[in-house]
Chain A
Amino acid sequence: MKTSTPTTPQSNPLLEVEGLTKYFGGLRAVNDFNMTIYPGELVGLIGPNGAGKTTVFNQITGIYLPTKGSVKFNGVNLVGFEPHEITRAGIGRTFQNIRLFNNLSVLDNVRIAFHATSGYNLFDTIVSNNKFSQKENEIVEKSQDLLEVMKLSRFQNEIVKNLPYGEQRRVEIARAMACQPQLLLLDEPAAGMNPREILQLMDMIHFIRDNFNLTILLIEHQMRVVMGICERITVMDFGEVIARGNPKEIQGNPKVVEAYLGKGAANVA
Chain B
Amino acid sequence: MQTISQKQKSIHIVTPNSFLAWIGKFLLILIALFALFVLAKNLIAKPTLFAQNVLDGLKLGFVYALIALGYTMVYGIVKLINFAHGDVFMVGAFVSFFAVEFLGLHVWPIAVFPDINPLLANVLGTITIILLSMVICVLLAITIERVAYKPLRDAPRIAALITAIGVSFFLEYFGLLEFVFSARFIPYKRPFEEMTWYIKDGIHQVEAGVTTPPGSITFSNIFVVIVIATVLAQLFLQYLVRRTKIGIAMRATSFDKPTARLMGINVDQVISFTFGIGAAFAALGGVLFAIAYPSIKTLMGVYPGLKAFVAAVLGGIGSIPGAFVGALIMGQAEILTSAYVSTPMRDAIAFSILIIVLLIRPTGIFGEPEKEKA
Contacts of A88 in B (CB 8 A): 3-4
Known interface pairs A77-B8, A85-B7. Does A90 touch B374 (Cβ–Cβ under 8 Å)?
Answer: no
Interface residues of B in 10-66 (CB under 8 A from A): 11, 13
Q: Quick check: is B5 within 8 A (CB to CB) of the other chain?
A: yes
Cβ–Cβ < 8 Å partners of B13 in chain A: 80
Verify A76–B4 contact, CB threshold 8 A.
Answer: yes
Q: B374 to A89, Cβ gap below 8 A?
A: no
Knowing A63-B374, A95-B374 are in contact, say whether A90-B11 is a contact too (CB < 8 A). no
CA distance A64 to B371 in the complex (A): 12
Q: Mark A60-91, 1 if CB is under 8 A from B, else 0.
A: 00011000000000111110110001001110
Q: Are A75 and B5 in contact (CB under 8 A)?
A: yes
Chain A nearest Cβ from B219, distance in angstroms:
46
Residue in B4, B7, B8 whose Cβ sees the most chain A Cβ within 10 Å? B4
Q: Given the complex, which residues of B lie within 8 Å of A90, measured CB to CB?
A: 1
* B6: min CB distance to chain A, Å: 10
Whole-angstrom distance between the Cβ of B371 and the nearest chain A Cβ: 9
Q: How far is the CA of A75 from the CA of B4 in the complex (A)?
A: 11
Q: In the docked arrangement, what's the CA distance between A182 and B374, Å? A: 22
Residues of B within 8 A of A80 (CB): 11, 13
User: Could you tell me if B11 and A89 are in contact, using CB atoms closer than 8 angstroms?
Assistant: no
Task: Give CA–CA (A77, B5) in the complex, Å.
Answer: 9
A58 contacts across to B, CB distance below 8 A: 374
| Residue in A closest to B12 when the chains form the complex, CB atoms | A80
Q: Is A105 an interface residue (CB 8 A)?
A: no
Complex interface residues of chain B between 328 and 374 (CB less than 8 A to chain A): 374
Whether a CB of chain B sits under 8 angstroms from the CB of A54 is yes
Question: Nearest Cβ in chain B — how far from A238, in angstroms?
Answer: 19
Distance in angstroms from B326 CB to nearest chain A CB is 26
Residues of A within 8 Å of B3, CB to CB, are 88-89
Closest Cβ neighbor of A74 among chain B residues: B1
Question: Which chain A residues border B5 with CB–CB below 8 Å?
Answer: 74-76
Contacts of A74 in B (CB 8 A): 1, 5
A182 to B4, CA, bound (A): 14
User: Nearest chain-B residue to A86 (Cβ)?
Assistant: B4
Known: A80-B11, A81-B7, A89-B4. 17 other contacts (CB 8 A): A54-B374, A58-B374, A63-B374, A64-B374, A74-B1, A76-B8, A77-B8, A80-B13, A81-B4, A81-B11, A85-B4, A85-B7, A88-B4, A89-B1, A90-B1, A95-B374, A182-B1
A–B Cβ pairs within 8 angstroms, 24 of them: A54-B374, A58-B374, A63-B374, A74-B1, A74-B5, A75-B5, A76-B4, A76-B5, A76-B8, A77-B8, A78-B4, A80-B11, A80-B13, A81-B7, A81-B11, A85-B4, A85-B7, A88-B3, A88-B4, A89-B1, A89-B4, A90-B1, A95-B374, A182-B1
Sort A-B residue pairs by CB-CB distance and give the 6 closest, nearest first: A89-B4, A80-B13, A76-B5, A63-B374, A58-B374, A76-B8
